[in-house]
Amino acid sequence: MARELISPKYVQEQAAKIWQRGDLHRAFLENNTCFPVAISLPSWSSKVLLSEFSAVQEAIYSLHEQSKKHGFMISHNVVNHRQLGEQKIPVAVEFENEAIFLRYLRHAEEFSEFKKLAEKTLQRHASLKNWLLRYPFKLMNFSNVWFSLLDVCDYFLKHPRPDLYIRQLDIVGVDTKFIEQHKAILTELLDLILPETARDLSITGLSNNGFERRYGLRYELPQIRLRILDKRLAICGLMDLTLNLLEFNRLELPINTVFITENKVNGLTFPHVENALVIFGLGYAVDLLANVLLLQSVKIYYWGDLDSHGFAILSRMRGYFPQTESFLMDNETLNKFEDLWIQEPENKVVTHELTNLTAQEKSVFQTLKTNHIRLEQERVSYGYLRINLQKRHQIVR
């Protein structure tokens, strides 16, 4: 054990930790120095020294050989051992300067590259200094593309919120794939370089085109699939439409009812209803509808699976549109098709509280959760669907 504590391997491990902390990098950035650097060697008892004397002497010899080879200094304490007599025990090693330390760890070339990159970076963007102090190794992780990253940042400085697709950005040496592959690091840099007016601070993360939305880029908008259920309202004879979210939000139709269902076939076969349309295939992406003007003043019926997730989506939808009513998500429907129930895996059940359900809906939701059952909406018969539409005074053709 004592041999390991003063071995060259121990010294190398401790020196590597100093390097990995980034002490040298930060000292350079602050126009400072952290040298000389001393590494203390652990002490041990006289008993251990006696029991491992031969191994300790061998380790001390190896350490001195390493000192001659690499140029670091060794500090000793003199110990008077009752049985072994006077012993010089290494207590610390010291690296007098940066060159010795870097040569020892074989990082001289890498650190030289860091200094060049850091100097050129701060010449272009002094605002990145604190980031470099905090993440010196990130600079090296991206060293082979670093200046291309800065070129992208320069473009956004000159053209804030460009309202273009990434494909349209005219940056020499940078293509669409490069930006797509480096969104995370670009986000860190752009947030430090760009003024607040060039960023949408309410948008965080990269999901749902977060990068594009944060920095004012165009992106492929989510698609909304719908069917107009009243032939009189067909648009140039078209009733089955797929619109991007922006187009859908511009849609103007004299409707008073909107049905929302998850299953695609249910949407495609939904009966014709006067002054109505059906939206389908969104699932939890009903969030996309939150700001759609068309839905503000119409009756909304949500028809989801009779399972915990169906009610979770219903609750979310009603949070955006309080007038939303559930459709075919009641005990009568559940019991009518009992022979078509399937199990909802316990690890898939929604466990958080659903705050936007009625008392009756909460009762059904609790029944489903307790018994781990689900009735998929496509298992409800077409005839039952038509009958219930008529019960709700919808005019079916």
Round the CA-based radius of gyration of the chain to a whole number and report it.
Answer: 35
Q: Is the pLDDT of residue 45 over 80?
A: no
pLDDT level of residue 44 (50, 70, 90 thresholds): low
Q: Do residues 260 and 300 lie in contact, with contact meaning Cβ atoms separated by under 8 Å?
A: yes
pLDDT level of residue 123 (50, 70, 90 thresholds): very high
pLDDT level of residue 114 (50, 70, 90 thresholds): very high
Query: What are the tens digits of pLDDT across the range 18-28?
Result: 999 999 999 99
Task: Provide the pLDDT for residue 48.
Answer: 60
Q: How far is CA 25 from CA 37, 95, 145, 358, in A?
A: 14, 16, 20, 60
> Which positions ≥6 away from 201 have C-beta within 8 Å?
none
Each domain of the chain, given as residue ranges in start order, spans 2-106, 110-214, 224-391
**Does the predicted TM-score (pTM) go above 0.85?**
no
Task: Provide the pLDDT for residue 1.
Answer: 46
Q: Which residues pair with 241 in a beta bridge?
A: 226
Q: Is the pLDDT of residue 57 over 80?
A: no
pLDDT averaged over the chain?
90
Amino acid at 112: S
Query: What are the tens digits of pLDDT across the range 153-208?
Result: 999 999 999 999 999 999 999 999 999 999 999 999 999 999 999 999 989 999 88
Cα angle at 152 between 246 and 141, to 5 degrees?
Answer: 115
Helix (H) or strand (E) segment spanning residue 279: strand 276-280
Q: Is the pLDDT of residue 50 over 60?
A: no
Task: Provide the pLDDT for residue 2.
Answer: 46
Cis amide bond preceding 36, omega within 30 = yes
Specify whether the backbone of 281 is left (phi greater than 0), alpha (psi in -120 to 50) or beta.
left
Q: Do residues 120 and 145 lie in contact, with contact meaning Cβ atoms separated by under 8 Å?
A: no
